Structure 1
Amino acid sequence: MLKQRIVTALAMAGLFLAAVLFLPLLWLAFMLGVVVCLGAWEWARLAGWRSSLSRGVFVLTLGLLLAALFVYAELGLAPQREQVQPVLGIACLWWSFSLLWVKSYPASAVLWRSRVMRSLMGLLILASAWLAAVYLLAFPRGGLLLVVMVVIVAATDIGAYFSGTRFGRHKLAVHVSPAKTWEGFWGGVACATLLAVALWSVLPARMAHISLAAVIAVVVTTALASVVGDLTVSMVKRESGVKDSGSLLPGHGGLLDRLDSLCSAAPVFALGLLLAGW
């Protein structure tokens, strides 16, 4: 199983890097849209839509929403901060509420367990993540920024895994994800902080106005958001009575099982860059 997970992870990383390096923005936005729509197929099941027709309608709804956001934010041309920032702000506000729901689960399920609410959650999570990722690509060296965001999430996850395995004693969210511990959480934060210092040390001279404190704030906040995303999807899966969101990725479960942290990290990272003056 471990070998299978490593092979799948390396294949995904290779495809992602190749797409970022060689595809133009329009094609990369389309490719990311396809990935997000595959995630929507899995989310539809978590939301309670069982038939292929109803799940297809959910995917189509998300696709139309992505198209509307693409036109509204002029993502194919020169997206303006004034158009994108409010959407990113709403997404970040949503993740703040989601943290409260995770903390109070299972009592909080009364607020969101309906099929309609879970569907709206999925549309907001997936659409805002796609918008943030495509918007990042419009920045100077946007492909590199997208890779940095993924590295932040990966470093947080790796730090949490090893510190949690070695020192884990106190449960982080026992009703949502019993395997996660506070020791693992702080290990992930520590890795993210070290990564922030390393990133600041290699910033180009033209970014001298961005302080170390700002870089740490953006990176650590992104890391924290990735944890909330992971826990949120775990919470919805637990409420839906499933272990994995799907079986698309050998050794990893469903696509959403790999996208959960990235979906929450993307809007936080993009908004953080804007507020830091990138």
Structure 2
Amino acid sequence: MLGTRVLTAAVALPLAVLAILFLPAMGLAAVVGMLMLAGAWEWAALSGLAERGRVVFTAVAALVMALALGLRESGGPVSSDVVVLGLAAIFWLGAVQLVIRFPAQWNATLGHRPLALAIGLIVLAAPVVAVAYIDQADQGSVLVLLLCLMIWGADTGAYAAGRTLGRHKLVPRVSPGKTMEGAAGGLLTAMIIGALGALVLGLDGWRTLGMAVLGAWIAAISIVGDLTISMFKRSAGVKDSGRLFPGHGGVLDRLDSMLAAAPWFVVGLHLVLQAA
């Protein structure tokens, strides 16, 4: 199993970096969209839909993504960026309470199928909109890569710190393996990556500090994304959300952090780059 995981990562990571650096903005958004549609199939399954319901939900998710991108490109009065990313960011803040109190509020929130499906349409569209938005900015490819490096670095830092120093459980009712020490290691690693990214982008001292803080926040909210999918899996009684990535599980197993981090990265960029 470990060999399969390593082989999958060895293939997937270079492909991801190449796609980020060399695909045009909408091409990269299309790739992310296809991954999110696979995630929509898994989200529907975790919500308890049968195969026909999963097909319908995935089709509706594709429509929502297309409309969000279309409205953005049309330059119309409705800003799909603000609506989709704003709603997703708000949801992930609320998800903190759900994680802390799990399973107390589950049945009334994400355990309630219509609500879970409605939320899924927004949070699955958000990474697609976020990537299209970021990648069209100045040094957009670098910014998208920085987002991914923050997430990957946080995951790696958390794993290393948790394995060597982990003593205190973070949220044992949701994910018994996660520790406070691991979370701290992930935050520190993402902060360092944020500061290094600011240097590559040529930002000044205060903005470098801001990018470091943004790295810590991305690490923190990515943990919420991870734990939210863990709640879904616990409720559904499954170990993995799918089987798309051998040794790693499904799209939601691998990109759960991206779901939560992408909208907040856009928010954080605005705060940092527009700071006086």
Normalising by structure 2, we get a TM-score of 0.92
More displaced, 53-62 or 86-95? 86-95
Where do residues 132-143 of structure 1 align in structure 2 (5 Å cutoff)? 132-143=130-141
Which residue does 1:3 correspond to in 2?
3
Which residue does 2:104 correspond to in 1?
107
Do the aligned residues in 2 keep the contact of 1:79 with 1:138 (CA within 8 Å)?
no
| Cα separation, 2, equivalents of 1:220 and 1:17 | 22
Q: Specify every segment of 5 or more residues in structure 1 that has no aligned partner in the other structure, as ranges.
A: none
Which residue does 2:68 correspond to in 1?
69
| Cα separation, 2, equivalents of 1:80 and 1:17 | 34
Change (3 A) 1:176 1:79: farther
Secondary structure class of the residue paired with 2:249: coil
Is 1:129 equivalent to 2:127 in the alignment? yes
Secondary structure class of the residue paired with 1:110: coil
Is 1:48 equivalent to 2:54 in the alignment? no
Give the C-alpha shift of residue 86 in structure 1.
4.3
Q: Specify every segment of 5 or more residues in structure 2 that has no aligned partner in the other structure, as ranges.
A: none
Per-residue deviation, residues 52-90 of structure 1 (Å, max 9, x unmatched): 22111010000000011011111xx78999652343222
Change (3 A) 1:212 1:80: farther
Q: Percent identity?
A: 38
| Cα separation, 1, equivalents of 2:79 and 2:112 | 34
Which residue does 1:174 correspond to in 2?
172
- Provide the aligned length of Structure 1 versus Structure 2: 273
Secondary structure class of the residue paired with 1:250: coil
Q: 1:148 aligns with which of 143, 146, 154?
A: 146
Do the aligned residues in 2 keep the contact of 1:85 with 1:271 (CA within 8 Å)?
no
Which residue does 1:227 correspond to in 2?
223
Do the aligned residues in 1 keep the contact of 2:69 with 2:80 (CA within 8 Å)?
no
Which residue does 1:16 correspond to in 2?
16
Q: 1:213 aligns with which of 209, 214, 232?
A: 209
Give the C-alpha shift of residue 217 in structure 1.
2.1
Secondary structure class of the residue paired with 2:177: strand
Which residue does 1:236 correspond to in 2?
232
| Cα separation, 1, equivalents of 2:97 and 2:58 | 28
The residue type equivalent to 2:15 in the other structure is L
Give the C-alpha shift of residue 210 in structure 1.
5.2
| Cα separation, 1, equivalents of 2:43 and 2:137 | 30
The residue type equivalent to 2:179 in the other structure is T
More displaced, 220-229 or 116-125? 116-125
Give the C-alpha shift of residue 34 in structure 1.
1.0
Across the aligned residues of Structure 1 and Structure 2, the Cα RMSD in angstroms comes to 2.0
Do the aligned residues in 2 keep the contact of 1:152 with 1:223 (CA within 8 Å)?
yes
| Cα separation, 1, equivalents of 2:39 and 2:174 | 21
